[in-house]
Amino acid sequence: MWPIYLLLQNFGWAILIFTVIVKIAMLPLQIKQQKNMAFSQLFAPKVKEIQQKYRNNRDKQAEEMQKLQAQGYNPAGGCGPLVLTMIILFGVIDVVYKPMTHMEHLSSSDISSTITVAQETEYAKIFLNEYNKQDAELILKYKNGDKDAVFISESNDGAQLTHEFKDDENFKNNYTDKDPKTISTADRETYGSFSAEQYSDLTGDRQKLHPDLFTGKFPPRHLTGDKSRLTAETKNRLAAVAGKYKGMQMELLALQVYEQYPDTFKESKILSDNVKDRLASLSHNMMFCGLNFGSTPKLAFEPLIIIPIFAFVLSLVQTVLSQYLNKKNNPEMANAGGAGMKVMLYIMPLFSLWISFSVPAGVGFYWGVNYALGIVQSLVMQKLYSPEKLRAEAEEKMKERKLKERQVTTTAVVTDADTGEEKTVTKTETLS
């Protein structure tokens, strides 16, 4: 996907063309699967007979099925493309979650610095919210030399703050509406870097550099701990930021913060100009048809909800089409597995809907495109490799196999009656 991205400079087009290439590359495997299914269908009457005859004897049933497999019956012959598709899906998920690594090929140190700026910016945003002035004042007092301002000790009143707007409906419902429009480098260093230190494992030399974070020896005093005077609301938000920057979504989260506060990143001294330019390029390239492929769709009336709907509808269409073609091409096996198997087939569209709401839009888009190409492929395969043609080839293959099984080759050493010379004679005959 990376060279496609370099060429087109767009994440959506990279996913689309990559999916087309994968489908074309897997076409020989799909053709082989079709032929294997046609051959296995010739065993359908025998399979049904064994299942009915030994329905109360599982061991005997398994034994007879193994005999069929020795003759060429392969019930799992169509699983290869599905397994490969799932493996590639997990690869696409990793690519979408880590665009800095896979698309821009930033170094691990540059990515780490970018994530640090993003995390510190989010911490600063919490204290710079218009509803949060009292907690921000405590941090300023601490930074100005009052080391007991933030943490409860004998030298202060020992009380934890209560949010002054805790009973205000505007605070409960519109807290995020009061986030700052801009966050300067000074703000990030004052509130963000200090907050980040609270979650660091400060030991050795780093501990000596931050003695004010410790009560005695160890552990450090955390802003979200019992000794913190901050309000419960602020502690919860600080803990939420710390928690979400521990999973595989860190790069996407950092990119989302960049999109909200680009100037904060541009002013940063720990990011090189090259990294800043590539972040700007990546942020722009994640957009496709007005949709941000790095954002996760929500169950709400927003443009991004079209991605889960897209994946669900195409998954449903492919399932219905698959059922129709199976019934048309192989009526005797159309009801194999009973109602339970049909229910399982229709669970896949629901799975597509669920996964599209659980991962960034880029993954849901890949999933939907994969189904769309699968529909086209099914129709083309039906036309070029008709079941009648494949069944005729399978029957001919079955005749050749049976004929070969009846052929017996014998070898004997005979002596010529006139010359006395010995010679080897090989004879092949077909048994009745």
pTM: 0.74
Question: pLDDT-based confidence at 40, cuts 50/70/90?
Answer: low
Tell me: pLDDT of 71 over 50: yes
Lowest pLDDT segment from 114-123, 141-150, 214-223, 412-421: 214-223
Of 325, 337, 335, 336, which Cα lies nearest the Cα of 388? Answer: 325
Interval 343-394: pLDDT, tens: 767 788 888 888 889 999 999 999 999 999 989 988 888 887 766 676 777 6
| Residue scoring higher pLDDT (291 or 60) | 291
**CA–CA gap between residue 387 and residue 370 (Å, rounded):** 23
Structure tokens at 255: 């990119």
pLDDT, average across residues 409-415? 85
Question: pLDDT-based confidence at 177, cuts 50/70/90?
Answer: confident
Tell me: pLDDT of 399 over 90: no
User: So what's the pLDDT on residue 334?
Assistant: 52
CA angle 214, 217, 219 (to 5 degrees): 60
User: So what's the pLDDT on residue 209?
Assistant: 44
User: So what's the pLDDT on residue 208?
Assistant: 46
pLDDT, average across residues 102-121? 93
User: So what's the pLDDT on residue 20?
Assistant: 94
pLDDT, average across residues 407-427? 82
Question: pLDDT-based confidence at 105, cuts 50/70/90?
Answer: very high
Please identify which residue in the block is written with the tokens 């192989």. Answer: 330
Which of helix, strand or coil describes residue 271?
coil
Q: What is the largest CA-CA distance in the chain?
A: 126
User: So what's the pLDDT on residue 204?
Assistant: 44
User: So what's the pLDDT on residue 72?
Assistant: 66
